[in-house]
Structure 1
Amino acid sequence: MRVMNIAAAMVLLGSLAACGDGSSSADGGAVTLRMTTWSANEAHVKLFTDIAAAYHGAHPNVTVTFDALPVENYTTAVTTQIAGGNTPDLAWILESAAPDFVSSGALVPLDDAVENPSEIAPTTTALWKQDGKLLAYPFSTSPFGVFVNTDLVPDLPTGDDWTWDAAIGAAKKAAVSSGKQGLVPRDFDYKDWTNLAPIFDAWGAQAWSADGKTCGFDKQPMVDAMTFIHQAIFDDKAIPGPGVAADFFAGDAAMTITQISRASLLEDAPFDWTLVRLPSGPRGTYAVFGQAGIGVLKKGEHVDEAKDFLRFFTNDANSAKLAAYFPPPRTPQLTPETLAESNPLLKPENLKDVVIDGISSGVVKPSHRNSAEIVQAVRSALDPMWKPGADVPAVLTGVCTAIQPLLTK
């Protein structure tokens, strides 16, 4: 039912957008802007509110509030708010929902609301543009890397030896010797399969074709990648199996795949650790990143003020502050030295390998129009694979059977 509500809300979103823009407070009266986010992380909230307070200091009539919604149903909650007439002024948009929001007509073009647009790396804006217009600012382009507990993996392979075979071998060895878990794909938990993209892309596997019309799960690269993942879980015991909880940041696992925004969880870690790029695979060295954009909703009550706050929130100075958790799209800030200033827990060389090189060469996690319905269909069709002895090719054929009609809808 939730998936159908999202689809219906996106249709309504487009029809509402056609009714005209929201109003602005031209007389300088009091304005309260509301921006939805998915993060209730204490450090993130403090940073956002500090930026908002600085903006309020320069614009006393404008107050900015942040509405943190659970990530598990974030897009559902936002689209429900919009469909119910409780439209936020600004919204944090996940990459999986970008095609729906960008194509819906619900977002205000932002080309005149971004400071120094020539600084923005073109690779970061592809998902957020339509007809040449920027419809959301990609304030976070965050490649995936591997955090490693070097107390549990003291002999971490490096250079050309850092491959997926080596990574799983090291994770298995650490799990056996420590009694803890090996490699945790963060936020996967046998639910959000898109968080396996940092693994399966090593084989050149893609969920669907570049034009989004053809399923890729039954293609050989995905069959090979998912076979590798299945063996790592059930044969090697290198990845925690279904129902097994393991928090790398609490010391429960040897490695985890995630983004640098989680580094703050390691500030007081009782173990030594490092951050390294994704291991190379059959396609060689590669990178995968997640993105988040900020959009201004046409049906928000204060469009002009929202655009002005967006300009301030994403200007050079605040972009540098946000870089502590959300790698910026601005090329002058994508240097090891600059990122290290905002990320003191991480070494410049690690930031270069994972973040800078990842942004320049990586691909974004899977996204598609009507993504909520498609993602749920994939999740359900993959369920038979998460058990010993599963027929991986047959399961993946079943995924394509389930989603091919949705891809061309």
Structure 2
Amino acid sequence: MTSAKKLSATAAIAVAALALSGCAGSTGGGASADDPVSLRMTVWTSNEDQLALFDSIAEEYMADHPEVSDITFDPLDFESYTTTLTTQLAGGNPPDMAWVLENAAPDFVSSGALVPLDDVLSATDGYDLDDLSASATELWRDADGALAAYPFSTSPFVVFANDDLLAEAGAPTAAELQADGDWNWETISEIGSQVNAATGKAGFVVRDFEYTQWDYLSTVWGGWGAEPWSEDGADCTMDSDEMVDAFTFLHDAAFDATSMPGPGSTADFFAGDAAFTVTQISRASLLEESGIQAWELAPLPEGPAGEYSIIGQAGVGALAQGENPEEAAEFIAFFTNPENSEKLAQYFPPARESQLNAETLVAANPVLTEEQLSEIVVPAVESGEVRPSHTGSAEIQQAVRSALDALWVADADIPGTLSAVCEAIDPLLEQ
């Protein structure tokens, strides 16, 4: 047995910031062609096409920068990504660069764990820092306004619909539902229940939720106008009337209407197991090998509060505790310049205003049509609200997940459970 405890994400990032203050003189800045450096970037993708693109960008960079001998992209498991990254930081094995999820952004940005990028981006020929959308970069700026990470992916959540499965169940298509003014969560659940009864397959799935990643449900509760905490982050609002109504809908979908897989059940839309899935457009590439012949892209369904959109973000930053922070920041400037941003756009919607248009996106997203991009994707990026984020995200995530366990039973006390969530996280929000 061992009594050792893993560092929380917040604590690990704090350790990294403290380590930086004590050893700043030993980091980076001395690379040359005679003494080249190796750079490592942690990522959560293991997609071969994406990694091949990253490698090609790295090879182009190294051809003009002999002071860098090697750039590797280190895939980490998505579900444990932040924990693994912060463990590396606390253990003295930091990467030079890292992807950062939006829900962990406040911790990384506020702790000083990331190298400010403004100067190196501004000094890079042709970078055009002013082209970056102010709304896209807001989450990634520190209290002084410095850009701590570049939001290489600003990806809206949308709905993919399997019209083959809807036809099998005798249900209308997604396009027909929209044309009839029925594109709303109530109708989606009704249709999902019909699909489940007729085919045994799932109605709708919130991808990556799996009854553990509760913040993915913001893609649903946004339709009720609900928020997990106040705008200043100081007060829990998980027990608000809007949130109670949203979770009542979700509970009914799982346990009564059976329009959504219940706890312990899974369904993969891209394997043909569900009629609808809520996910990001970056998943569109999965359609090519899914076997689904007739599918559609649609915005998030309306809720009682009307239309809304939710976006997920990912930033890439240079770790201040890394061995080569200056070289890492310079590679990030190349990795995210206009030319490479356009290449990355085939998987990750860009933060550049000049590239946020259907013409650019359709060239990089051959699976989607220009109409889908212009009418659904671009407006969602422009008006979307970023998924919930807060300092101490790892502790809050675990506390909410644990408290919500009581909700995922047939006879749950929904208002009481959500009140218990607030009791659990109010002390964490105050930190």
If the TM-score is normalised by the length of the shorter chain, which range does it land in? over 0.9
**1:137 aligns to 2:150 (yes or no):** yes
* TM-superposed deviation, 1:45: 1.3
The verdict on how the C-alpha distance between 1:397 and 1:3 changes in structure 2, with shifts beyond 3 A counting, is farther
**1:72 aligns to 2:68 (yes or no):** no
**1:126 aligns to 2:138 (yes or no):** yes
* TM-superposed deviation, 1:268: 2.7
* TM-superposed deviation, 1:93: 0.5
**1:216 aligns to 2:229 (yes or no):** no
User: Do 1:2 and 1:76's aligned partners in 2 also have CA atoms closer than 8 Å?
Assistant: no
Match of 1:150 among 143, 157, 163: 163
Match of 1:258 among 270, 276, 279: 279
**1:14 aligns to 2:53 (yes or no):** no
Q: After superposition, where does 1:77-88 map in structure 2 within 5 Å? A: 77-88=84-95
Question: What is the match of residue 198 of structure 1?
Answer: 219
The verdict on how the C-alpha distance between 1:109 and 1:320 changes in structure 2, with shifts beyond 3 A counting, is same
**1:282 aligns to 2:285 (yes or no):** no
Taking the aligned partners of 2:215 and 2:387, their CA distance within structure 1 comes to: 7
Match of 1:399 among 405, 414, 421: 421
What percentage of residue pairs aligned between the two structures are identical? 50
Question: What is the match of residue 128 of structure 2?
Answer: 116
The letter for the 1-side match of 2:399 is A
User: Do 1:113 and 1:310's aligned partners in 2 also have CA atoms closer than 8 Å?
Assistant: no
The letter for the 1-side match of 2:160 is F
Taking the aligned partners of 2:351 and 2:403, their CA distance within structure 1 comes to: 35
Match of 2:408 among 362, 374, 386: 386
User: Do 1:327 and 1:355's aligned partners in 2 also have CA atoms closer than 8 Å?
Assistant: no
Question: What is the match of residue 124 of structure 2?
Answer: none
Match of 2:321 among 272, 293, 299: 299
Taking the aligned partners of 2:7 and 2:251, their CA distance within structure 1 comes to: 31
Taking the aligned partners of 1:5 and 1:403, their CA distance within structure 2 comes to: 15
Question: What is the match of residue 63 of structure 2?
Answer: 57
* TM-superposed deviation, 1:55: 1.3
Taking the aligned partners of 1:2 and 1:231, their CA distance within structure 2 comes to: 38
SS state at 2:74 partner: strand
1:204-230 Cα deviation digits (max 9, x unpaired): 111111111100111111011111111
Taking the aligned partners of 2:290 and 2:82, their CA distance within structure 1 comes to: 33
* TM-superposed deviation, 1:161: 2.4
SS state at 1:267 partner: helix
* TM-superposed deviation, 1:121: 0.9
**1:179 aligns to 2:192 (yes or no):** no
User: Do 2:399 and 2:425's aligned partners in 1 also have CA atoms closer than 8 Å?
Assistant: yes
The letter for the 1-side match of 2:158 is G
SS state at 1:71 partner: coil
* TM-superposed deviation, 1:251: 0.6
Contiguous gaps of at least 5 residues in structure 2: 122-126
1:341-392 Cα deviation digits (max 9, x unpaired): 0000011222233321111111111111010000100000000111112111
SS state at 2:321 partner: coil
User: Do 2:205 and 2:260's aligned partners in 1 also have CA atoms closer than 8 Å?
Assistant: yes
The letter for the 2-side match of 1:253 is A
SS state at 2:38 partner: strand
Taking the aligned partners of 1:277 and 1:90, their CA distance within structure 2 comes to: 33
Taking the aligned partners of 1:312 and 1:349, their CA distance within structure 2 comes to: 31
Question: What is the match of residue 98 of structure 2?
Answer: 91
* TM-superposed deviation, 1:263: 1.1
The letter for the 1-side match of 2:8 is N
The verdict on how the C-alpha distance between 1:113 and 1:276 changes in structure 2, with shifts beyond 3 A counting, is farther
Taking the aligned partners of 2:232 and 2:398, their CA distance within structure 1 comes to: 20
* TM-superposed deviation, 1:6: 2.2
Match of 2:8 among 5, 14, 17: 5
Count of residue correspondences: 409
SS state at 1:92 partner: strand
**1:229 aligns to 2:229 (yes or no):** no
Taking the aligned partners of 2:412 and 2:5, their CA distance within structure 1 comes to: 29
Question: What is the match of residue 42 of structure 2?
Answer: 36
* TM-superposed deviation, 1:288: 0.5
Contiguous gaps of at least 5 residues in structure 1: none
Q: Is the deviation greater in 273-282 or in 22-31?
A: 22-31
* TM-superposed deviation, 1:337: 1.6
Question: What is the match of residue 357 of structure 1?
Answer: 379
* TM-superposed deviation, 1:2: 6.8
Question: What is the match of residue 347 of structure 1?
Answer: 369
User: Do 1:144 and 1:354's aligned partners in 2 also have CA atoms closer than 8 Å?
Assistant: no
User: Do 2:8 and 2:395's aligned partners in 1 also have CA atoms closer than 8 Å?
Assistant: no
The letter for the 1-side match of 2:89 is I
Taking the aligned partners of 2:403 and 2:157, their CA distance within structure 1 comes to: 25
User: Do 2:7 and 2:87's aligned partners in 1 also have CA atoms closer than 8 Å?
Assistant: no
* TM-superposed deviation, 1:14: 2.0
Taking the aligned partners of 2:88 and 2:226, their CA distance within structure 1 comes to: 36
SS state at 1:113 partner: helix
* TM-superposed deviation, 1:4: 4.5
User: Do 1:113 and 1:307's aligned partners in 2 also have CA atoms closer than 8 Å?
Assistant: yes
The verdict on how the C-alpha distance between 1:298 and 1:146 changes in structure 2, with shifts beyond 3 A counting, is same
Question: What is the match of residue 25 of structure 1?
Answer: 30
* TM-superposed deviation, 1:91: 0.7
